[in-house]
Every structure is written in structure tokens, then in C-alpha cells.
């Protein structure tokens, strides 16, 4: 007989150290010859990103030892930090960005011992220096083509971005003048170039302030001369109110891109101005194996007709793309046979193979409910990164000849009995104005305990970051850390979240601090009203934009008994002027409204200006190296809270930026959060250090 126990008191084998060791996910998959490579988190190695190589015999190895950290800082969120190709002798040539100095390096890992990485780019003494992302090793020139982010002064906004060519021979390692600029710099933000199969054209994406990439971007196309110079760039798709997050080329030279011109991010084919046209075709299905997923057909793509008008290849109310938070994300990958691998879905996502001529889409069979925005293809092989409610993110390979998928790397291995994992519920709640609110509810669950009496469980509402982001339906040991102890979790994809179309995404336009707060509160109150959660023991937590929502919730709502505020935005006026990085420096123009027109709104909504309204205990967690949500805001907030009689704690972490990466940081933060809930909810626990709450 399973013993009873009060909610929040249950024992659990999922401790904070276990959750920390399994934090993060593989990213940026790619092929080097026949081998699959990707970056992977190493929380116990100072939080670095390792580059992992899967050899032909199935073994995985880190290409570079610590402290090498394969991670870009372009737009601070980074993006694709490496590229590789097989040399003529079969060995790999690697180009990568190291986080410490942001230089671009070349490395031949199979070369004789002692030949380590060699720098390709110089260090600039100006501002944040020279940074690189989204590299492409040119197939015919001894160059790397990528995005250059160059600081021109000390301020975060003193910056320019262009496409650039870096010589592979190392001649630019100490000489900025040896770097060729390819684009004209007319756009403040750009993605890396995508070369046409014949090398004669390059396509990329550009946009400017105050737009964010999910507001409006342009697809730019330029002819490439034999000497590697670009002709004048012309816009062939996108616009100020049309978001294009990815562009690429089919094997036969047709330009493909994802656009939300219909209200959903769908895949399109467009003309390149060369007169190329394609006729309709019948295509072939890729589901030649048995038991290999579902096949659907929606519409017919007829190709570019020479007019340049984009043609939808699979029009449907689903997302075939997402927000471009990092440079080089991929939601589609053209294959050699003319088919296209696509990540698509509404809320959850799947990997499918699309026939662009017939519109037929065949989904990959398997347990995965979320595919990260990274895909690579080599012949009939497609590789991505996927997870499910019962498995963490792992590298998955699809054989398009058979339709069969298998885990290829970073395989999920249950660190504890999976009976301790929560069983998520996909819910849709009703908020103010009868609007839909999407959420994932994780009730308390443990094989060791059942609740005692008629007690209702405490719940924590999680507000995701972004806010133009999404809480995926995947196994998260941080969630299991709480649910296995008898504390429920509700992840809210509040209005403004991605995955549900542009209209849902734009509910937050000029309503940040209103709609997100209301939606989270509506979910919490609904759980209490239906008898799922204890109305007296509700908490709210979030990081970054979720930290803002948490703080704003404590200011404007009495729903929550406490909150955990993680590297937040607390002062809109400071953040809109000089307290964040360039990429998001004008984000509030759409989230809150034009500062020049509604300055009072910035004051009214900022938690910093209304600390007197906060009565619930809170925990504030901050990285001291955070340049996106700087500690100065947290420190001003705490100074105003001093002496107000509200129990609170502040933990600041040296060496941590925006998003904690080190295992020791995550352990301290998670245990402190649990201690806050235990003290607030009246739960006695002896397995975590007590958090000192000051007034």
C-alpha cells in the first residue's frame, strides 16, 4: 500500500543536482562528410557548449576539450556557431566560434597531434569587438562566409552587421582589412548567406529597428560574381508586416522561404528574377516503409511562375517556422530528390517530408512532440533534435527511403525511474474577453506517495521567456523536481506565444504586462475553481520576460502567495533606453507602445515604480554578467523594497549571464525556489538548505 503524505512533503530521487546535470539540449546539428555533429550542453564543465562528433561506429566524442566553448554572442543570443566539411583526404575541416573571445577558428581534428585550433579573425578593442555567426565554408573558395557583428563604440547599440568573407588561410587573424564585406550594410540585422546550387546567387534575410524578426523581415537576393563579390541586393519576398524566419534553395535552384503572410508561418517558393519556372508534378510519397507516420495532402504548389509572387507549398493553419531568436535556426531542409524536410504543427510540432509539387506531407512516426529549430540533410538522411513528455531532447535521424526514425545521439537515458515523471495535460482555458489560453498542466505525481485527506495541492504557474516564445510539451526535470514532491506546475502559453499563428502572437502588441499577466492569473484561478489547485497556495515564476510577468503579477494581482523572479525586466524606461542589448533595444515599441507617444505607460506598468503594491514573498535570481536584463534593475528594485516588511531573498551569481548554465548555479537556484515555496505553503522539508527571507 502506498503511504499518504501531505502535498509538498513527498520524498523524491530527483534532486537539484540531477536536474542541473540534465539541463539544456543538443543544438545546431550538421553533417561533416557522413558524420553527424552537434553542440551539446556541459553544465558540470562551467556551462560550456561542447561540439560533439558521432563517428561511423556510433561512438560520440567531444571534438574540443574544455575550456573551448562553441557558442556565438551575435545579438547576444547567438546562433549557429560552427560549420564543417570533409577535406579531399576525407578528414574533417571545422570552423567555429569560441565564446571566450568570439574569434572564428579553424581546426582539423584528425590532423597530427599538437595542431590545435588556429584563429581566423582578429580581436577588436572597440566595444564588444568582432563577433561571428552562421558560417558557411564556401565550396570553391578558401573562405568562410558568415555574419559579422562589429562594434563601433562602447554602447550596446554602437554596432553594425554585414555579410563577410573570412579567408581560411589565417591571413585575417591579425588584420581586419583582410576580411571582405559582401553585403552593403543597409539592414541592421542579417542572417548568413545561402548559396544557390550553382553558386551564382546568394539569399539572406534582413530587417531593421523597431521591427523584431517576427514582425517583418525581407528576403534579399544578390548575384554572385566569379570573383566572389555580390551584385546589388534586391528584395524578393517579405516586408514590414511579413515575417520570414528562414530562406533556402532546393536542389534544382528554386528559392524557398517560410513566411507568415497568411497569418501562419508556411513554406513558399518564389521567383528569383531569372525567369526560372517549374510546372506542377505528381511527386512521390516517402512512406515506403510500414508503420511510418501519417500522410496528408493540402493544396498543390505550382512553383514560381516568373512573376515573383510566392506560391504556398502546403497551405494550412499550422506553423512551419518560428521566432528567429538566434541566427541560423532551421525549420526546413531541402533534400536532393526535390522533397523538403519540414518541422510543422500547432502547439506541438512534428517532422514531416513534404512533396512541394503535390502538397503531400508525411510525418515521422515516433514519440516526439517537439522538434527544435535545427535540421540537416545528407542524401536520404535527415537529422534533427526532438523530445517528448517522457524523453529529453535527443538527436534523431530519419531515413527518408524507409520512413523510419531512430535516436542517433545524445540519447535520453532515464536517470531515475520514469514513474516519477509527471503526466502532462494539454489544456485550453478561457480568459478575459472569452479568449483562449493554451497551457500544459502537470499535476503532482509520485509512485511513493498519495495525498492525504481532502487537501488540495499547491501549484506554481510558469511564465515562459520571450515573451515571443513558447513552452514546449517535453520532459523537464525541473518540473519533475516539483511535481514529484507534491507541487503542481502549470506552464502557460499566454497570448503573445508562438505556435498558434500570428493573430495569437499579436495579442500582446502594446499589451505586455496586461495580457500575459491576465492569462497566467486566469489559468491559476481556473485550476483553483475546478478543485485542481489550492487557491491559498498558488505561486508564479518565470525568467527573462517571464520574470517580468512574474513581477508584474505580484504588483497587479492578489492571486499568488509568492513568486520566483529570474533575471527579469523590472524597469521599462531603463530597458527602453540604455539598459539592454541592441537586438531588443526597441522591442518595447511593439510590446508596450512607442515611447515617444505613451511614456506614461512605461512608468505605469513597470514593477519598479509600484513596489508598494507587492505584499507576497518573493525570490529574485540574477546573473551578474547579464547584459540583456542587467543586475542594475534588480538592485534598484531591491533598494525600493528594503524596509517594506515583505519577506524576500536575492541570489546573485558571478559568471552567469542571461540564462543560467553552470550546474552549481542551477542547484542553488532550484533549492532556493523550493525553500521559498515550502516556507510560504507551510511545508516542512529537510532536504534543501533553508532560504533566508529578509524584510
DSSP letters along 225-291, please? -TTS-B---EEEEEBTTB---EEEE-TTS-EEEEE-TTSS-EEEEE--SS-----------S--SSS
Euclidean distance between CA atoms 136 and 147, whole angstroms: 10
Residue 307 has pLDDT above 80, yes or no: no
* Local confidence band at 289 (pLDDT 50, 70, 90 cut-offs): very low
Q: Which domains does the chain have, with CATH numbers?
A: 29-181 (2.120.10.30), 422-681 (3.40.50.1820)
Average of per-residue pLDDT across 34-38? 97
pLDDT reported for residue 291:
32
Whether 280 and 300 have beta carbons less than 8 Å apart is answered as: yes
For 347-368, the pLDDT digits (tens) are 999 999 999 999 999 999 999 9
Rg for the chain (alpha carbons), in Å?
25
* Local confidence band at 273 (pLDDT 50, 70, 90 cut-offs): low
Average of per-residue pLDDT across 92-102? 97
pLDDT reported for residue 308:
64
The residues, ordered by sequence, that sit 6+ positions from 554 with a Cβ below 8 Å of its Cβ are 540, 560, 563, 565, 607, 613, 614, 616, 618
Residue 503 has pLDDT above 80, yes or no: yes
pLDDT reported for residue 505:
97
Average of per-residue pLDDT across 400-411? 95
Average of per-residue pLDDT across 211-239? 97
The residues, ordered by sequence, that sit 6+ positions from 476 with a Cβ below 8 Å of its Cβ are none
Residue 284 has pLDDT above 70, yes or no: no
Where are the extended beta strands (E) located within 271-365?
Answer: 295-297, 311-312, 332-334, 340-344, 350-354, 360-363
SS3 432: helix
pLDDT reported for residue 211:
98
pLDDT reported for residue 281:
33
Q: Strands 488-493 and 459-463: what pairing?
A: parallel
Taking the CA atoms of 17, 22, 27 and 33 in sequence, report the sign of the dihedral they define.
positive
pLDDT reported for residue 365:
94
pLDDT reported for residue 271:
77
Euclidean distance between CA atoms 14 and 21, whole angstroms: 11
Residue 294 has pLDDT above 70, yes or no: no
Q: Which of 65-69, 127-131, 458-462 has the lowest mean pLDDT?
A: 127-131
For 481-490, the pLDDT digits (tens) are 999 999 999 9
* Local confidence band at 89 (pLDDT 50, 70, 90 cut-offs): confident
* Local confidence band at 88 (pLDDT 50, 70, 90 cut-offs): confident
Whether 663 and 44 have beta carbons less than 8 Å apart is answered as: yes
Whether 276 and 304 have beta carbons less than 8 Å apart is answered as: yes
pLDDT reported for residue 277:
33
Average of per-residue pLDDT across 4-10? 95
Whether 607 and 637 have beta carbons less than 8 Å apart is answered as: yes
Q: Using a pLDDT cut of 70, give the percent of the chain over it.
A: 95
For 620-653, the pLDDT digits (tens) are 999 999 999 999 999 999 999 999 999 999 999 9
Average of per-residue pLDDT across 420-434? 97
Q: Omega into 134 within 30° of 0, i.e. cis?
A: no
Q: Which of 1-5, 151-155, 554-558 has the lowest mean pLDDT?
A: 1-5
Return the C-alpha cell found at 652. 546573485
* Local confidence band at 90 (pLDDT 50, 70, 90 cut-offs): confident
Bridge partners (DSSP) of residue 613 are none
φ, ψ of residue 68 to 5 degrees: the values are: -50, 135
* Local confidence band at 617 (pLDDT 50, 70, 90 cut-offs): very high
Return the C-alpha cell found at 426. 494539454
Amino acid at each position: 500500500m502506498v503511504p499518504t503524505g501531505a502535498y509538498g512533503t513527498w520524498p523524491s530521487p530527483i534532486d537539484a543536482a540531477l536536474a542541473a546535470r540534465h539541463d539544456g539540449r543538443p543544438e545546431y546539428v550538421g553533417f561533416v562528410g557522413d558524420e553527424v555533429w552537434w553542440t551539446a550542453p556541459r553544465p558540470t564543465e562551467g556551462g560550456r557548449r561542447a561540439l560533439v562528433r558521432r563517428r561511423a561506429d556510433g561512438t560520440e566524442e567531444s571534438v574540443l576539450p574544455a575550456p573551448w566553448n562553441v557558442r556565438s554572442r551575435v545579438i547576444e543570443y547567438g546562433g549557429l556557431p560552427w560549420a564543417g566539411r570533409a577535406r579531399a583526404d576525407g578528414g574533417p575541416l571545422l570552423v567555429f566560434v569560441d565564446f571566450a573571445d568570439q574569434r572564428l577558428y579553424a581546426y582539423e581534428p584528425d590532423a597530427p597531434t599538437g595542431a590545435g585550433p588556429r584563429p581566423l579573425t582578429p580581436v577588436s578593442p572597440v566595444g564588444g569587438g568582432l563577433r561571428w555567426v552562421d558560417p558557411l565554408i564556401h565550396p570553391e573558395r578558401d573562405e568562410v562566409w558568415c555574419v559579422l557583428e562589429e562594434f563601433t563604440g562602447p554602447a550596446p547599440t554602437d554596432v553594425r552587421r554585414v555579410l563577410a568573407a573570412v579567408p581560411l588561410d589565417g591571413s585575417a587573424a591579425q588584420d581586419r582589412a583582410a576580411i571582405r564585406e559582401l553585403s552593403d550594410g543597409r539592414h541592421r540585422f542579417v542572417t548568413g548567406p545561402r548559396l544557390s546550387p550553382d553558386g551564382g546567387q546568394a539569399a539572406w534575410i534582413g530587417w531593421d529597428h523597431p521591427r523584431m524578426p517576427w514582425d517583418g523581415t525581407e528576403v534579399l537576393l544578390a548575384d554572385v560574381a566569379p570573383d566572389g563579390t555580390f551584385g546589388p541586393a534586391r528584395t524578393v519576398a517579405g516586408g514590414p508586416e511579413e515575417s520570414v524566419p528562414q530562406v533556402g534553395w532546393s536542389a534544382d535552384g528554386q528559392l524557398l522561404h517560410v513566411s507568415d503572410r497568411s497569418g501562419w508561418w508556411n513554406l513558399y517558393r518564389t521567383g528569383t528574377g531569372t525567369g526560372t519556372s517549374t510546372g506542377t508534378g505528381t511527386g512521390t510519397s516517402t512512406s515506403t516503409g510500414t508503420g511510418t507516420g501519417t500522410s496528408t495532402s493540402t493544396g498543390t504548389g505550382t512553383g514560381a511562375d516568373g512573376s515573383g509572387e510566392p506560391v504556398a507549398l502546403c497551405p494550412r493553419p499550422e506553423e512551419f517556422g518560428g521566432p528567429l531568436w538566434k541566427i541560423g535556426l532551421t525549420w526546413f531542409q531541402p533534400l536532393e530528390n526535390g522533397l523538403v524536410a519540414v518541422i510543422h504543427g500547432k502547439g506541438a510540432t512534428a517532422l514531416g517530408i513534404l512533396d512541394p509539387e503535390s502538397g503531400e506531407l508525411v510525418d515521422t512516426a515516433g514519440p516526439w512532440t517537439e522538434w527544435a529549430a535545427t535540421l540537416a540533410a545528407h542524401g536520404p538522411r535527415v537529422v534533427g533534435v526532438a523530445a517528448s513528455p517522457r524523453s529529453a531532447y535527443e538527436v534523431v535521424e530519419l531515413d527518408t527511403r524507409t520512413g523510419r526514425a531512430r535516436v542517433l545521439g545524445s540519447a535520453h537515458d532515464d536517470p531515475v525511474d520514469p514513474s516519477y515523471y509527471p503526466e502532462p495535460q494539454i489544456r485550453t482555458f478561457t480568459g478575459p474577453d472569452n479568449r483562449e489560453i493554451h497551457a500544459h498542466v502537470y499535476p503532482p505525481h509520485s509512485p511513493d506517495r498519495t495525498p492525504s485527506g481532502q487537501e488540495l495541492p499547491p501549484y506554481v504557474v510558469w511564465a515562459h521567456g520571450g515573451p515571443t516564445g513558447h513552452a514546449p510539451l517535453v520532459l523537464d526535470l525541473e518540473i519533475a523536481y516539483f511535481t514529484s514532491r507534491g507541487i503542481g506546475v502549470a506552464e502557460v502559453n499566454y497570448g503573445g506565444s508562438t505556435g498558434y499563428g500570428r493573430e495569437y502572437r499579436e495579442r500582446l502588441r502594446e499589451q505586455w504586462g496586461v495580457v500575459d499577466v491576465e492569462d497566467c492569473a486566469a489559468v491559476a484561478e481556473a485550476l483553483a475553481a475546478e478543485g485542481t489547485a489550492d487557491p491559498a497556495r498558488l505561486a508564479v515564476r518565470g525568467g527573462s520576460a517571464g520574470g517580468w510577468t512574474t513581477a508584474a503579477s505580484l504588483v497587479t494581482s492578489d492571486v499568488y502567495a509568492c513568486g520566483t523572479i529570474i533575471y527579469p525586466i523590472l524597469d521599462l524606461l531603463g530597458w527602453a533606453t540604455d539598459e539592454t542589448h541592441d537586438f531588443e533595444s526597441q522591442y518595447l515599441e511593439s510590446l508596450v507602445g512607442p515611447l515617444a507617444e505613451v511614456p506614461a505607460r512605461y512608468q505605469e506598468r513597470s514593477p519598479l515604480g509600484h513596489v508598494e503594491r507587492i505584499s507576497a514573498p518573493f525570490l529574485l535570481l540574477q546573473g551578474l554578467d547579464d547584459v540583456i536584463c542587467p543586475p542594475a534593475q534588480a538592485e534598484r528594485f531591491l533598494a525600493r523594497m528594503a524596509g517594506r516588511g515583505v519577506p524576500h531573498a536575492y541570489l546573485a551569481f558571478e559568471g552567469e549571464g542571461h540564462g543560467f548554465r553552470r550546474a552549481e548555479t542551477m542547484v542553488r537556484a532550484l533549492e532556493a525556489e523550493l525553500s521559498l515555496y515550502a516556507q510560504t505553503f507551510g511545508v516542512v522539508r529537510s532536504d534543501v538548505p533553508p532560504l533566508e527571507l529578509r524584510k
